[in-house]
């Protein structure tokens, strides 16, 4: 869109407008695996009241007295095992950048659309990217938290951070937030295709397909968080799409932290029990993660596989996340095009 600027003073700063921004946002990543980078990242993450809902009076002594003195080393070592050495960054950063680049290419027919990416914790920050899009002339921004299933500790905190920054802006862009898409046919179909493609490469057949979702404390669920319901529906729709009987499919929950009870069954305990019960061959995937990251590569592909084998299991395969695959990008593009209706 061009504008008549002949009426402006010659020294008037450039005015950009008429653009629409699309901001893809994922959880976050440390800048490096060293102690300082890990501590900075974990501090920002674990101080979020959406993530840890305990009173600061109760939580902060534990966080600053214990967690931030011990966890950075442990988590840093885990990141080292799955670090993208070629780019010296986490794979979550690599995939999120690629998703934004591919989305920009998919929307190139709309020259007024600018696609960018950010992280809720770490860099690049949501605030910096909103500012960049605004400076580029984006009067409207589609904020896309990359979480198929809604949870207060994921989708809501992304929205919180964006609107927190808007509170500081004199001239705010219009904002749309992308809702959950846990039951979108395009998403379910892409998951099913990823399963079928991976299993087609094996010379053995899994006895069981497990879908492992990130957990949340049961107390959050009991307070009304719909996350568990969204995960279960995703699982049911995927099982039906694959044509699997109930006895060949499971939904489990991983990554619990702290003393509280979390959503169950726990993935690690399930791995142990299945192997001890005589199950020899399993496939596992992480439908709630748009991109492979620490929780999928190290915790599931690595640790969960070790637990299964240690307790008698024989065949274990981790099905990669959708990442920046054609199927994965088709899902993201479907959602973005739908949510941009009326703006482009």
Give domain status of residue 125, yes or no. no
Is residue 6 over pLDDT 70?
Answer: no
Give domain status of residue 248, yes or no. yes
Pairing of strands 281-285, 208-214: parallel
By CB atoms closer than 10 A (0-12, 13-18, 19+), residue 25 is: buried
Give domain status of residue 28, yes or no. no
Summarised one tens digit per residue, pLDDT across range 236-289 is: 999 999 999 999 999 999 999 988 999 999 999 999 999 999 999 999 999 999
- How confident is the prediction for the chain on average, in pLDDT? 96
Q: By C-alpha distance, which of 128, 80, 132 is closest to 302?
A: 80
Summarised one tens digit per residue, pLDDT across range 86-97 is: 999 999 999 999
**DSSP string for residues in 54-103:** S-HHHHHHHIIIIIHHHHHHHHHHHHHHT-BTTTTB-HHHHHHHHHHHHH
**What is the C-alpha separation between 315 and 328, in angstroms, rounded?**
26
Q: By C-alpha distance, which of 120, 122, 117, 73 is closest to 99?
A: 117
The confidence score (pLDDT) of residue 258 equals 87
CB 37 within 8 A of CB 31: yes
- pTM of the predicted protein model: 0.93
Please name the helix (run of DSSP H) or strand (run of DSSP E) that holds residue 41, with its range, or none. helix 35-46
Give domain status of residue 156, yes or no. no
Is residue 224 over pLDDT 80?
Answer: yes
Q: Which whole number is the average pLDDT over 299-308?
A: 98
Is residue 179 over pLDDT 70?
Answer: yes
Is residue 1 over pLDDT 70?
Answer: no
Give domain status of residue 209, yes or no. yes
**Share above pLDDT 70 across residues of the chain, in percent, rounded to a whole number:** 95
Q: By C-alpha distance, which of 301, 305, 216 is closest to 256?
A: 216
Is residue 4 over pLDDT 90?
Answer: no
Summarised one tens digit per residue, pLDDT across range 132-164 is: 999 999 999 999 999 999 999 999 999 999 999
Range of the domain at 280: 185-319
Q: How many structural domains does the chain have?
A: 1
The confidence score (pLDDT) of residue 310 equals 98
Give domain status of residue 75, yes or no. no
* CATH code, domain carrying 239: 3.40.50.1400
CB 285 within 8 A of CB 214: no
Summarised one tens digit per residue, pLDDT across range 51-63 is: 999 999 999 999 9
Give domain status of residue 5, yes or no. no
Is residue 223 over pLDDT 60?
Answer: yes
């Amino acid at each position: 869109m061009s504008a008549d600027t002949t009426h402006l003073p010659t020294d008037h700063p450039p005015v950009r407008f008429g653009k629409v921004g699309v901001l893809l946002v994922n959880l976050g990543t440390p800048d490096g695996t060293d102690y300082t980078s890990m501590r900075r990242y974990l501090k920002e993450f674990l101080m979020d009241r959406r993530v840890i809902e305990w009173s600061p009076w109760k939580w902060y002594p534990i966080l600053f007295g214990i967690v931030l003195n011990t966890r950075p080393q442990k988590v840093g070592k885990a990141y080292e095992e799955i670090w993208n050495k070629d780019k010296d960054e986490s794979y979550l950063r690599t995939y999120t950048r690629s998703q934004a680049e591919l989305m920009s290419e998919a929307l190139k027919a709309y020259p007024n659309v600018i696609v960018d990416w950010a992280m809720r914790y770490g860099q690049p920050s949501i605030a910096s990217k909103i500012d960049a899009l605004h400076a580029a002339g984006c009067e409207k921004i589609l904020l896309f938290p990359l979480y198929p299933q809604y949870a207060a500790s994921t989708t809501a905190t992304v929205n919180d951070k964006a609107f927190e920054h808007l509170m500081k802006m004199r001239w705010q862009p219009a904002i749309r937030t992308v809702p959950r898409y846990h039951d979108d046919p395009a998403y379910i179909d892409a998951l099913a295709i990823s399963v079928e493609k991976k299993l087609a490469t094996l010379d053995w057949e899994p006895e069981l397909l497990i879908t492992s979702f990130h957990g949340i404390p049961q107390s959050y669920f009991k307070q009304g968080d719909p996350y568990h319901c969204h995960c279960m529906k995703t699982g049911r729709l995927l099982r039906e799409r694959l044509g699997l009987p109930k006895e060949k499919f499971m939904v489990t929950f991983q990554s619990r932290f702290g003393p509280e009870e979390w959503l169950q069954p726990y993935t690690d305990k399930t791995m142990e029990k299945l192997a001890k019960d005589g199950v020899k061959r399993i496939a596992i995937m992480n439908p709630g993660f748009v991109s492979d990251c620490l929780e999928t590569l190290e915790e599931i592909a690595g640790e969960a596989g070790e637990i299964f084998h240690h307790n008698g299991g024989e065949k274990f395969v981790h099905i990669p996340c959708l990442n920046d695959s054609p199927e994965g990008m088709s899902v993201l593009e479907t959602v973005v095009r739908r949510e941009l209706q009326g703006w482009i």
